[in-house]
């Protein structure tokens, strides 16, 4: 477990990996833009509301930008542990200058920096929870719950595993039909692409287990608000 965590950390702090990841930004934005906007739509705010939210594991800030666009008076705190990712993100976030700040935060350690307020209106995460082992998923959900205002929402967009091998085979079959080159890409990964894949799936967990962690933390209104094969958006709120 410790070795896997160290490998993941080194990967996301690698200049080569981050540059390769950033080079695919246009493709990623095209594929995920609607999902990030939908995350913002789930938040209980009107367009003119003033509020502060945190994007945990923010990377280059794609989810945060979607929320900032929907709510022009909102402010974002983007938390990430990789200086390389935060550097890329700071450049991409410039259209929102004055409405965001980056904060260094290693979510695996579980020690929240003082730069993140103790009381938050909302928290979002996008494609980062699956990088954490289960004990940290559960711990982080409880930590988010404790910082949310009553009625505050947590929204997560991520990938999950299938508990049933028949379901998993159906996901692979459908994905291969959606992306005809997917099977070929699996067989011809570069060393860097293989490392990225292994990092992606290492701590991925079934959906039901993660929803249980939300229940244990105290959230209500828990639901899978969107799902396509292995990709899901689930959310819940702290009771009022």
At 17 the pLDDT is 61
Candidate from 70-74, 185-189, 220-224, 229-233 with smallest mean pLDDT: 185-189
Angle at 12 between CA 7 and CA 16, to 5 degrees: 105
Average pLDDT over residues 124-151: 97
Average pLDDT over residues 61-66: 96
Angle at 40 between CA 182 and CA 77, to 5 degrees: 100
| Contact (Cβ atoms closer than 8 angstroms) between residue 211 and residue 222 | yes
Residue 157 is classified by DSSP as E
The predicted model scores a pTM of: 0.86
Please report, for the domain that includes residue 22, its CATH number: 3.40.50.150
Reported as a single tens digit per residue, the pLDDT across 101-119 is 999 999 998 899 999 999 9
Residue 126 is classified by DSSP as E
> How many structural domains comprise the chain?
1
| Contact (Cβ atoms closer than 8 angstroms) between residue 135 and residue 203 | no
At 19 the pLDDT is 67
- R_g of the chain computed on alpha carbons: 17
Of 4-18, 30-44, 176-190, the range with the highest mean pLDDT is: 30-44
d(CA 107, CA 116): 13
Residue 187 pLDDT greater than 80, yes or no: no
Question: Domain of 191?
Answer: 2-237
d(CA 171, CA 177): 10
At 60 the pLDDT is 92
Residues facing 227 on adjacent strands:
232
């Amino acid at each position: 477990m410790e070795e896997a965590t160290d490998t993941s950390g080194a990967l996301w702090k690698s200049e080569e990996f981050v540059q390769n990841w950033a080079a695919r930004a246009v493709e990623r934005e095209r594929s995920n833009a609607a999902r990030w906007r939908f995350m913002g739509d789930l938040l209980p705010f009107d367009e003119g509301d003033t509020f502060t939210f945190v994007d945990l594991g923010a990377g280059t800030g794609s989810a945060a930008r979607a929320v900032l666009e929907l709510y022009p008076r909102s402010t974002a705190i983007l938390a990430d542990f990789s200086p390389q990712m935060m550097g890329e993100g700071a450049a991409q976030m410039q259209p929102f200058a004055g409405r965001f700040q980056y904060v260094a935060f290693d979510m695996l350690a579980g020690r929240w920096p003082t730069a993140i307020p103790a009381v938050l209106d909302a928290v979002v995460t996008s494609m980062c929870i699956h990088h954490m082992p289960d004990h940290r998923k559960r711990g982080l959900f409880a930590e988010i719950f404790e910082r949310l205002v009553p009625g505050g929402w947590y929204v997560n967009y991520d990938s999950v595993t299938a508990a049933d091998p028949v379901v998993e085979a159906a996901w692979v079959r459908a994905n291969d039909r959606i992306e005809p080159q997917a099977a070929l890409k699996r067989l011809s990964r570069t060393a860097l692409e293989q490392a990225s894949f292994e990092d992606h799936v290492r701590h991925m967990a079934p959906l039901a287990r993660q929803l249980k962690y939300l229940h244990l933390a105290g959230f209500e209104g828990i639901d899978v608000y969107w799902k396509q094969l292995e990709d899901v958006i689930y959310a819940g709120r702290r009771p009022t």
